[in-house]
Amino acid sequence: MIADYETNVVYFSSWLEKEYPKIYIDLITVLKKNNVAYDIIPCTNDIWCRDYMPVQIDEDRFLCYRYYPDYLLKRKSDKRFITDSQEVCMRLGLKTTNTNIIMDGGNIVKVGDKVIMTEKVFQENPDMSPSSLGSKIEKLFECEVVFLPWDRSEIYGHSDGIVKPISGDSVLITNYDDYDTEYYEECSRRLSKVFKVESLHYEVKDGDSRNWAYINFLTVGKLMILPKLNIKEDEQALSQIKQLYPDCYIEQVDIEALVADGGGLNCITWCRKVDQNHIRFLNLLNRSELEEEIVFTDEDIRYMCKYDIVRFAERNPGVVEYYMKCLSD
């Protein structure tokens, strides 16, 4: 099981640039500044790609679950937002094991050799008992799963709004202790059986209801991108994260508009571990974004055309046409 702190590429739905162009530009600016590659996911129906993208078991194996969330089934018109996960995996060329178990990727937090989920997954799969479902999920994930109670005030039931890994044996809980001590204590009790537990806390009067979003920060390798919400808690969240992750590079991006629509940075990203050849391809492919003038060497062009001429031609048709003409000459 590959955790986000072991990954090296960030993926976005193509819808993100259309619906939140400033947030998209700000994110890829930070990624480029920190030499982190990124890519766009094809065939998606909404921006929340964490929920429908597969779980990476190792560098070449992925688990594709059934993405069929109850919160998109209540109104017939919402079903159009359900992305076909298997089609996406096929388009990306991923080798997948497929399961009919209904899950959301936002309810899968990978920590070392364990996964943290909420018990909402039991309600989503009522044809199986919790014990047999839990065993089957562990077999698919090839690791132990720690189940947390589902906070019924949060309809999505996602564990990525509750907890984040600090290391392979320690986790960070969001600031539930500031407003729901009973729920915090139960989560802490379950997690502390297998992890060292830290928690966020904000010294503010009348805390902002959006401060849940800080725990939903993006992690890719050693880079962390923390939400900026333009509220009093911004600086306190940044200070605490810096203390808890002293070896990481931490940036902030304003996602106030995104949080107003119910999501955070982890929700709109999917992270993957790839080899260095793929990293080189993505960096060259995306070179034209944010740059007014781009120059490819002959070696760059040959490499891109041999690696994936179709994608390179989509982004740089004139360059590929030049390359093909040179070959014919």
- Could you tell me which CATH number the domain at 4-274 has? 3.75.10.10
Average pLDDT of the segment spanning 88-113: 96
pLDDT, one tens digit per residue, over 102-137 is 999 999 999 999 999 999 999 999 999 999 999 999
Q: Is 100 helix (H, G, I), strand (E, B) or coil?
A: strand
Q: Is 137 helix (H, G, I), strand (E, B) or coil?
A: helix
pLDDT, one tens digit per residue, over 25-78 is 999 999 999 999 999 999 999 999 999 999 999 999 999 999 999 999 999 999
Burial zone of 217 (CB within 10 Å; 0-12 exposed, 13-18 middle, 19+ buried): buried
pLDDT at 326: 59
Q: Which amino acid, one-letter code, is at 224? A: M
Contacts of 329 (CB under 8 A, 6+ apart): none
Of 252, 267, 260, 217, nearest to 13 by C-alpha is: 267
pLDDT at 318: 75
Rounded Cα gap, residues 107 and 151, in angstroms? 12
> Could you tell me the residue ranges of all domains in the chain?
4-274, 291-328
* pTM > 0.85: yes
Q: DSSP readout, 306-325?
A: HHHHHHHHHH-HHHHHHHHH
pLDDT, one tens digit per residue, over 202-216 is 999 888 899 999 999
pLDDT at 327: 64
With cut-offs at 50, 70 and 90, classify the pLDDT of residue 296.
confident
With cut-offs at 50, 70 and 90, classify the pLDDT of residue 317.
confident
- Helical (H) or strand (E) element with 110: strand 109-111
